[in-house]
Amino acid sequence: MSLSVNYHGFFDGNFGISEATRLNALALETIGIKVNRINYSSETFERIDTGSEASSPINVFHININFINNFFSKNQDLNLKDHYNIIYWAWEFPEVSDKVVEILNVFDELWVPSDFCVNIFTKYTGIPVIRFSHPIQKMAESKDFELSRYSISSDAKIYLTIFDSLSTTIRKNPEATLEAFTTVFKEDKNSVLIVKTHNLERSKDAQKALEAYNNIPNVIIINEHFSKEKLHSLIQQSDVLISLHGSEGFGLTMAEAMAYGKIVVGTGYSGNLDFMNINNSFLIQYDFIKTSNTKGLIDEGLTLARPSLKDAVEKLQYIKNNFENLTAIKENAESQIADNFSIRSIGELFKIRLDFIDGFGKKESSGGSDVNNVFYLSEIERLNTRVNYLERTLYNKIRKKVNAFFKKGRK
């Protein structure tokens, strides 16, 4: 019987987790593993019928931490018993809540995309935590992204930063990239910064972060959903990718830019250190901060890096002054991804592990809890989150009414 896996995820989504899901499935299929693609809506968490049946005894759930409760609460008819159940998570913070650990320990093992994530989760669980990096797929060269549409000269030096506005702004930190770029290139008409985002209309924090840069001539803010082909076309036509992030579970766009031999500038912290080093990229110094005033989007008190603006400015100035002498760095970047992060090389690693799992079967699985507990735990946490949201919303409404009352009384 051929090796197979039920791969559960948001295959149709237009965000990083979905792209990672598609890439992992492609890597598995490339080396001959049958992948039953079990597709779900990222909005409703309901299954989308694609005709693919979960016929394998091995389940992989590529459902990240922030979706896990809603997903399993919505899909309580999933068959987990007598299956080997794997969860695939990318995570950006050293801290993991007790409730997350409780759900994690229901599974037989955890897959993660970086050593950064391995080091986090091995502190919290006794189940196997195994790194499977995101495979990187290079696309055919194209001009799907049209420079002329955005009034960009064909001979301009293009600097690029990419982020989803629904990712927390404090972590993606686009302001630092904008501040560093405008410090170095504000008077340079031949250099442009493209800020590629989407979902900007759904994030007041992201809007606030970008609004001060709306009228700078060589800063172009693009808030559009791009196809994969168009996004890769943009990366292909860029010269430098910048990510002054607070943390990344892996850092997919940085790896993709390196695959095309681009200069990459990134914070020297977290998952991107699996593929970035001083010989193939520019790593930015940092110190640490704790999250605060997160408005319920993420927990308070989580650890993030704060990249040094001074160091970022100095490195961008160096790139500007030495642009024609950076061939070795670009070549090292391209070969690093080609040698270690190709679709086939990651697929082969998947196969080694799945062959091992297939050999010993569910009866020797390492998960210590009743697997059906995941539905109970997820439903309880989903309800708790909903109650907290309603309480917070009600409190804010009452506070506004009280403030309005006293303001009126002072008139």
Q: How many CB atoms lie within 10 A of CB 392?
A: 12
**Per-residue pLDDT, 150:** 95
Give CA–CA dist 122/276, Å, rounded. 23
**Per-residue pLDDT, 366:** 43
**Under 8 Å CB-to-CB from 351, ≥6 apart: which residues?**
3, 28, 31, 32, 33
End-to-end CA distance of the chain: 81
Structure tokens at 56: 């394998």
**Per-residue pLDDT, 17:** 94
**Per-residue pLDDT, 371:** 73
Give the torsion sign (CA, 27, 29, 33, 38): positive
Exposure letters 178-213 (e unless 16+ CB within 10 A, then b):
bbbbbebbeeeeebbbbbbbbbbeebebbeebbeeb
Classified by CATH at the fold level, domain 4-135+344-387 comes out as Rossmann fold (3.40.50)
| 84-88 and 109-112 beta bridge pairing | parallel
Nearest Cα neighbor of 117 from 139, 93, 134, 136 is: 93
DSSP code string of 250-295: S-HHHHHHHHTT-EEEEESSSGGGGT--TTTSEEEPEEEEE----T
Instruction: Assess whether the region 4-135+344-387 and the region 147-340 belong to the same CATH fold.
Output: yes
Q: What are phi and psi of 44, to 5 degrees?
A: -105, -15
Give the pLDDT confidence of 345-379 residue by residue, as tens digits. 999 999 999 999 998 755 444 444 567 777 767 76
Give CA–CA dist 27/303, Å, rounded. 32
**Per-residue pLDDT, 294:** 72
- CATH superfamily, domain 147-340, is Glycogen Phosphorylase B; (3.40.50.2000)
Give CA–CA dist 29/21, Å, rounded. 12
**Under 8 Å CB-to-CB from 346, ≥6 apart: which residues?**
24, 27, 132, 133, 134, 135
CA 161 to chain centroid = 14
Which residue numbers in the chain have pLDDT < 70? 1, 295-297, 361-370, 376, 379-411
Q: What is the Cα Rg of the chain in Å?
A: 23
Structure tokens at 374: 């995941």
Boundaries of every domain in the chain: 4-135+344-387, 147-340
Decide: helix, strand or coil at residue 306.
Answer: strand
Nearest Cα neighbor of 291 from 162, 117, 168 is: 168
Structure tokens at 295: 């408005």
Give the pLDDT confidence of 136-146 residue by residue, as tens digits. 999 999 999 99
**Per-residue pLDDT, 379:** 66
Beta sheet of 58-61, edge-to-edge order:
47-48, 34-40, 4-9, 58-61, 84-88, 109-112, 129-131
Give CA–CA dist 330/310, Å, rounded. 23
Decide: helix, strand or coil at residue 395.
Answer: helix
**Per-residue pLDDT, 361:** 58
**Per-residue pLDDT, 400:** 63
**Per-residue pLDDT, 340:** 97
